[in-house]
Chains A and B, each alone.
Chain A
Amino acid sequence: MTETPPLSRRGVIAGATGLALAAAIPRARAAARTINIGYFVETKPTMIAKAQGWFEGAAKAKINWVEMGSGAQINAGMVGGSLDMGIGIGSSPAAAGLSQGIPYKVVAMLDNIGPAEEMTVRASEHITQPSDFIGKKIATPFGSTSHFRLIGFLKTNHLSLSQVTVLDLPPEQIVAAWKRGDIDAAYVWSPAKAELLADGGAVYKTYDKLDAEGYVIADLFVARNAFAHANPEAVAGILGAYGRALDMYKTQPDQAAAIVGKAAGVSAAVAAANLAEYDFVPLKTQLTAQWLGTPGHPGAFAAELEHTAQFLVGQKSIRKARPLTAYQKGIDTSYLEKAVA
């Protein structure tokens, strides 16, 4: 997941209220009787662990679930100390947060987004190569991982923002604009993406080339430093509970889809289709050099965060990126190691 959750209402004034939130909410107490977790209602295995109460059981604590409208809101909640963990924050807002010195760490990956967020074009426009996008209108939710990918696509194909109109729309408004014929293409995730495909849309594949060029996008678990230091078992427990949900999704996909669908308010069939689009990297695989690495041996994902941060600087979204080591330190795999042990 990314800037905005696919199923819940859009986080309307995400940014502006985000700042207000950061300033207004009093700091949570250090010792956690109750863990405050920011999350998205989405069709992912996390919803199994949440629905079955596995997170609470493994963390041995009460969890106060706070539904988020965007990754920016998770960042804001972390600054103010009102959130202890964030589940499903996109790599773009997480890279922004780490660059800005928000006191949290990436503790695990929820998924590698891969083809789940992809360009959809209107089939009748006959868009088959990058130059066909000249003069077209493409919508994406700004600040999201999809936005990052889209700008990456334009950049790597030498298309400038004066040749292509990029519009900032949240997913449900993308669907509305598409139905009216106001936009020619959109970079977004399901269910919005599925609706466009069902309504005269066609997939224009960009993700494989972009992944190879350093535009990997992912959804992440983050934990606030002070909370994680004081409650390492709880953090590891929560990651372990997610591992259990992933196992269930692997072994009993139908049952998993039914639970996810019920929790997210969609049919089991829709949930199964959405689940199938994501690459849920097993926790053990995350602890390899290709992804997060292990404590002391940072993996390749830190470089993706650095690249994302540099991109955000170019977009004027953040003031400055930090050196690679800062993002390597921004990933703490010790809890994940404990969770799979």
Chain B
Amino acid sequence: MRRLLDRRPWIVTLLSITAVIAAWAIATETGAVSDLLLPTPGELWSGAADLVVNGYKGYSLGAHIGLSLMRVAVGFGIGTIIGTLLGLLMGMSPTIDALAAPYIEFLRPLPQLAYLVLLIIWFGIGETPKIVLLFLAALPVSAVAARDGVRNVSPQRVQAAQSLGASRLQIFRHVVLPSALGEIFIGARLSIGIVYATLIAAEMIAGASGIGWLILDAGRFLRSDYVIAGILLIAAMGMGLDRGLLLAQRRIVHWAGK
């Protein structure tokens, strides 16, 4: 038995999920927990089915998902690309590092809600402030990851390449970038987590669409069935995004950790 479980960990996962669902069903169906706090599995199912069939307040569920993913993709994409480029430059050149570091260090720990209203004043209430918010969440994390990736390249390897007569560009392309890629990807996965966590804040801006807004709006009236359906969905989407990045990392940086 022991050995079977060790070899098939998914059985343990399955058992754990079944146990949680069973406990939830018993607690809600017997009325021990009010359905205002937690819907029964049946209510959650019909709430979720209703979202799938009828959508939510003007948009189909697919449109809510699509809009959220679009915001995440654009904000994360631009933020990570610019952040990584900036980080690489910062890692290569102490001058650029000294120039940009204060802003990155300022932005990184800043809670996004702190400047939410400013973004509305500056960028209005359309898609721009939402995407800028996600961009600002992604930028510092990927910049720091790329900079540290460059700094952690072993000096011996750089010196070896130099002694073989490699130019600065060649060293960057063939030594520094491949060595730093591992950390860049770790930074990207960190950053998508932060961007994703910021999504709800972004969709608070004059929302009427997106999964984050759906959860917020349903919560206003204690619609726990919609809220939990939305949470399950947003979690699944987040896991999907993270898996996607992990897959890309394994393909592109297949040598990392070997």
CB of B216 within 8 Å of the partner chain: yes
- Report A182-196 CB contacts with B as 1/0, cut-off 8 Å: 110000000000000
List 22 A-B residue pairs with CB atoms under 8 Å apart, sorted by A's residue number.
A13-B216, A15-B215, A15-B216, A15-B221, A70-B220, A72-B219, A79-B36, A79-B222, A101-B36, A142-B220, A167-B125, A168-B213, A172-B117, A173-B120, A176-B120, A177-B125, A177-B206, A179-B121, A180-B124, A183-B125, A316-B56, A319-B223
Q: Which residues of A contact B223 (CB under 8 A)?
A: 316-319
Q: How far is the CA of A14 from the CA of B204 in the complex (A)?
A: 11
Q: Which 9 A-B pairs have the closest CB atoms?
A: A15-B219, A15-B220, A143-B220, A317-B221, A72-B220, A16-B219, A167-B206, A182-B124, A176-B121
Q: Is the CB of A18 within 8 A of B222?
A: yes
Q: Which residue of B lies closest to A167 (CB)?
A: B206
Q: Is the CB of B57 within 8 A of A72?
A: no
CB of A288 within 8 Å of the partner chain: no
Candidate in A96, A182, A319 with the most chain B CB atoms within 10 angstroms: A319
CB of B224 within 8 Å of the partner chain: yes
Q: Is the CB of B220 within 8 A of A176?
A: no
Q: How far is the CA of A19 from the CA of B36 in the complex (A)?
A: 9
A residues 65-88 touching B (CB-CB < 8 Å): 70, 72, 75-76, 79-80
A residues 303-317 touching B (CB-CB < 8 Å): 312, 315-317
Tell me the smallest distance from the CB of B27 to a CB of chain A, in Å: 12
Q: Which residues of A contact B125 (CB under 8 A)?
A: 139, 167, 169, 173, 177, 182-183
Known contacts: A23-B37, A102-B36, A169-B125. The answer to whether A16 contacts B216 by CB under 8 A is yes
Q: Which residues of A contact B38 (CB under 8 A)?
A: 23
Among A18, A23, A101, the residue within 8 A (CB) of B220 is A18
Q: Which residues of A contact B213 (CB under 8 A)?
A: 168
Tell me the smallest distance from the CB of A7 to a CB of chain B, in Å: 16
Q: How far is the CA of A161 from the CA of B117 in the complex (A)?
A: 26
Known contacts: A19-B227, A22-B37, A79-B34. The answer to whether A168 contacts B222 by CB under 8 A is no
Chain B: interface residue count, which band? 20 to 34
Q: Is the CB of B217 within 8 A of A15?
A: yes
Q: Is the CB of A166 within 8 A of B206?
A: no
Known contacts: A166-B208, A169-B125, A315-B57. The answer to whether A14 contacts B220 by CB under 8 A is yes
CB of A206 within 8 Å of the partner chain: no
Q: Is the CB of A168 within 8 A of B117?
A: no
Q: Is the CB of B216 within 8 A of A169?
A: no
Interface residues of B (CB under 8 A from A): 34, 36-38, 56-58, 113, 117, 120-121, 124-126, 200, 204-208, 213, 215-227
Q: How far is the CA of A297 from the CA of B58 in the complex (A)?
A: 40
Could you count the A-B residue pairs with CB atoms below 8 Å apart for me: how many are there?
110
Candidate in B37, B56, B220 with the most chain A CB atoms within 10 angstroms: B220
Known contacts: A166-B208, A177-B124. The answer to whether A22 contacts B57 by CB under 8 A is no
Among B57, B121, B218, B225, the residue within 8 A (CB) of A15 is B218
CB of A100 within 8 Å of the partner chain: yes
Q: Is the CB of A75 within 8 A of B124?
A: no
Among A76, A161, A176, the residue within 8 A (CB) of B222 is A76
Q: Is the CB of B57 within 8 A of A18?
A: no
Other A-B pairs, 19, CB within 8 Å; known A96-B221, A100-B222, A315-B57: A13-B216, A14-B216, A15-B215, A15-B227, A16-B216, A19-B222, A22-B222, A79-B37, A80-B37, A96-B222, A139-B206, A142-B217, A161-B58, A167-B206, A169-B125, A316-B56, A316-B226, A317-B221, A318-B221
CB of A269 within 8 Å of the partner chain: no
Tell me the smallest distance from the CB of A67 to a CB of chain B, in Å: 18
Q: Is the CB of B221 within 8 A of A143?
A: yes
Q: How far is the CA of A179 from the CA of B205 in the complex (A)?
A: 16
Q: Is the CB of A317 within 8 A of B220?
A: yes
CB of A340 within 8 Å of the partner chain: no
CB of A12 within 8 Å of the partner chain: yes
Q: Is the CB of A168 within 8 A of B208?
A: yes
Among B121, B215, B217, the residue within 8 A (CB) of A168 is B217
A residues 227-269 touching B (CB-CB < 8 Å): none
Tell me the smallest distance from the CB of A216 to a CB of chain B, in Å: 20
Tell me the smallest distance from the CB of B24 to a CB of chain A, in Å: 13
Q: Which residues of B contact A317 (CB under 8 A)?
A: 220-221, 223
Q: Is the CB of A316 within 8 A of B120?
A: no
